[in-house]
Amino acid sequence: MTHQAATQEQLEMHGITKISHFNKARIDLSPRTRLETVRKSSEDFRHYMLNLDKPVAFYQSIDLIRVPYPTKYGLLNASKVWSPFMHIMNRMFVVQFETPVGLKTLLFSPSDIQGNAETPFFKNLDAAWGPLAKPMGKFMAPIYNDVEQALSKVGLRPEDIDFISYDHLHTQDIRKWLGSNKQKGYFPNAKLLVMQQEWTSTQSLLPPQQQWYCPNGIDGIDPGKVILLDSSVMLGESAALVQTPGHTEGNHSLVANTPDGLFVTSENGVSAESYSPQHSNISGVRQFARSTGMEVVLNGNTLEGGLDQYISMVMEKTIAGPSKRNPDFSNIAPSSELTSYWGFPGLKPTFYVGQMKFGTLSK
């Protein structure tokens, strides 16, 4: 399944172009220099995108499912909350953007709820509850929409989707969407946009990674449906996928220019306060930021590269800039957002991003 990263010419056929803003940002031996170089490159990139002044044609985020997630990972080392679990709301993002080769539709983070349940971490959680697993499922993981329902609520058909993408492939089973072993996929025209590093990692996992990757989740997928990226890229002039390694080595983040500013989406942080811990009201988080000097709180379940993830989160919040709704926080739209729940007391987000919608859908 190994194949080459797409060339500039191949990407242009899809309305995608490589960008070089971050190419030399992480090569210095000094971590402090790397952090400040990435911060400066992110400021430059933010101005570049804002100056293009080309908002996406349409943007909507839709709730899919709340999943239980260990608090110790979600707010790594920062929270003093007793609850061992938090709820994170998995969302899907529908983004339409103009390109020189026409309007394109991207689904970011379309999670196959049933397929993803095979991920070892969730399987083990279920096994631990034994016969209680089924009733616990409703309590622990209430479903709001599956991808098919979300899509029809938005008003799109499967054949309208040009691209799907995920910030990384933890928990993802994408065979249903793209097809595998000659079985047809649900999205007949969609191609996966993925970093070459993430695609390679998924086929060659070490034990620290295995708990979080869905076994066989990419098996038998036609390489012709996968666009491998080896660089940050612009999607038309309205959105971008920027390399944000750390949470996984092949992580990337979605940047979308909207009427409410540049929204940046990934799972590097689980909440707006992960990027502004100094303003958090969750027990422990503000003190953690003060006592350590850390600017961000990592979502650290595997910590493939802790320093890189730290730098990537500073990158994300610098690109995002301040939220229009509350400038104490950055304009981040986490793809899995910490969401309060009576079952997990003490974990109420200080600033909740929630679902969003901008622009007009084209069909």
Interface stretch with Zn ion, choices 30-38, 135-143, 170-178, 326-334 (CB under 5 A): 170-178
The size of the chain, in residues, is 363
Residue with tokens 């993925």: 194
Q: Which of residues 66-85 bind Zn ion (CB under 5 A)?
A: none
Residue matched to tokens 């096994």:
127
Query: Taking the complex as a whole, how short is the minimal distance between the CB of residue 250 and Zn ion, in angstroms?
Result: 11
CA separation for the pair 292, 231 (Å, rounded): 32
The CB-of-243 to Zn ion minimum distance in angstroms stands at 16
| CA angle centred on 296, ends 342 and 86, rounded to 5° | 20
Q: Are 49 and 262 in contact (CB under 8 A)?
A: yes
> Closer to Zn ion at the Cβ: 98 or 304?
304
Residue tagged 């402090």 (tokens): 32
**Residue whose CB is less far from Zn ion, 48 or 121:** 121
Structure tokens at 328: 């104490």
Indicate which single residue of 170, 175, 176, 252 sits in contact with Zn ion (rule: CB under 5 A): 170
Which residues within the stretch 92-131 sit at the binding site for Zn ion (CB under 5 A)?
none
Supply the minimum distance, in Å, between the C-beta of residue 179 and Zn ion: 24
Please state, in angstroms and rounded to a whole number, the distance separating the CA atoms of residues 288 and 331: 22
Q: CB nearer to Zn ion: give 237 or 304.
A: 304
Shortest distance (Å) from residue 96 CB to Zn ion: 26
Q: What's the one-letter identity of residue 105?
A: T
How many residues belong to the site for Zn ion (CB under 5 A)? 1
**Stretch in the footprint of Zn ion (CB under 5 A) among 44-52, 162-170, 290-298, 318-326:** 162-170
- Closest to Zn ion by CB, 14 vs 87, is 87
The first and second tokens of residue 361, run together, are 């859908």
C-beta of 151 vs 214, nearer to Zn ion: 214
- Closest distance of CB 319 from Zn ion, Å: 20
Please state the closest distance from residue 302 (CB atom) to Zn ion, in A. Answer: 7
Q: Which tokens hold the place of 215?
A: 């076994």
Q: Which amino acid is at 96?
A: Q
Distance CA 130, CA 334 (A): 32
Where along the sequence are the contacts to Zn ion (CB under 5 A)? 170
